[in-house]
Amino acid sequence: GVLSLERGTYDVIENEGTVEICAVLTGGVLSTDTVITLQASDNTAVWNSEYSARELRPILKAFGSRTCGRFNIINDIKHTF
């Protein structure tokens, strides 16, 4: 099987508080619960300034095909227009 992110890109709205990232298993099955590590890296957003978690560890349940985790988004907007 192949494990991949559900989407190629994720749009984030700063004042919504979180973004859900999902991993999907296709073309196979796992017979035991499996921890999936989703790791963030700085690119257009910066850790501890715009998001607060470096990694998530959701569990892909045995014989399941999808698991998700949520990164917390830091709202650093001073004024709302």
Which among 1, 67, 10, 76 has a CA at the least distance from the CA of 34?
67
How much is the CA Rg of the chain, to the nearest whole Å? Answer: 15
3-class DSSP state for residue 16?
helix
Whether residue 81 has pLDDT greater than 70: no
pLDDT tens across 52-77, in order? 777 899 999 999 999 999 988 887 76
- On the 0-12 / 13-18 / 19+ scale of CB atoms within 10 A, 71 is buried
What is the C-alpha to C-alpha distance for residues 38 and 23, in angstroms, rounded to an integer?
Answer: 8
pLDDT tens-digit profile of 18-52?
889 999 999 999 999 999 998 887 776 777 777 77
Give the predicted TM-score (pTM) of the model: 0.77
Give yes or no for residue 10 having a pLDDT over 90: no
